[in-house]
Every structure is written in structure tokens, then in C-alpha cells.
Amino acid sequence: MSKWKYFKKDEFTCKCGCGLNNISDALLDKLDEARDISGVPFSINAGTRCKKHNSDPNVKGEPDSAHLYGYAADISAKTSQQKFAIISSLLKVGFVRIGVYDTFIHADIDPKKPQNVVWDD
């Protein structure tokens, strides 16, 4: 039985096969709330990343990525409408770090990084 209505913790395991999952419960609490408000599916492209996977050139991870610390999720979003629904719900539940990319929305709660920021690819 998952603690969250819309997510299972293992959706946030590192994708390289290493099995690492340090995803933050506080992040999942906020994502679950946002997913509820949005009314659209949140498909998770990335959660935890180990150092090795984050440094894979195909992953394009920042050297000090919030994904390393389990503070970040990338939510698949292909259309402008999906992006709007996801971003507006993230803002409503108090996310203050949002990245807008071609095929996904990044949201994180990394306290060591600048707050109240939206960036693009």
C-alpha cells in the first residue's frame, strides 16, 4: 500500500539499473497533491539519479543536479495543454523551482538552489 494516492516510490528509482532510490517523501507529498489538483496523469521520466547515471551524456544532468539528492522529478509533458495543467498545479501546491523542457517538466525542492525560479532548456 503506497503512502501516495498517485505514485509508487519505485517509479522514482534510478533508471540505470543500479537500484538507487533516495527520493524525498516531502517531494512525493507535494507531487501527489499537484497531481490531484491537475486532473491529468503525471508520468515520471526521472526521479533519483546516481552519480554515474547523472553524468551519462545522454541524460544531460547538471553536475550538482537535484536528482542526485532525490529532490527532483521530471514529469512527461508533450503538449502545451499538458504543460499548462502540470505547471499550474505545481505552482498551486508551492513548488518554487520549475524547469520547462521540450518533452517534460522538471520540479524540485532542493533547498540549496535558488528559489522562485522557472527556467527553460
Q: Name the residue nearer to Zn ion (CB basis): 53 or 97.
A: 53
Do 34 and 93 meet the contact criterion of CB atoms below 8 Å apart? yes
Q: Which of 23, 31, 50, 68 binds Zn ion (CB under 5 A)?
A: 50
Neighbours of 103 (CB within 10 A): 11
Size, binding site for Zn ion by CB under 5 A: 5
18 binds Zn ion (CB under 5 A): yes
Q: Which of 53, 67, 97, 106 binds Zn ion (CB under 5 A)?
A: 53
Candidate segments 43-51, 54-62, 97-105, 110-118, binder of Zn ion by CB under 5 A: 43-51
Q: Is the dihedral of CA 31, 33, 38, 41 positive or negative?
A: positive
Q: Name the residue nearer to Zn ion (CB basis): 14 or 75.
A: 14
Whole-angstrom distance, CA of residue 72 vs CA of residue 47:
6
Do 76 and 103 meet the contact criterion of CB atoms below 8 Å apart? yes
Chain contacts with Zn ion (rule: CB under 5 A): 14, 16, 18, 50, 53
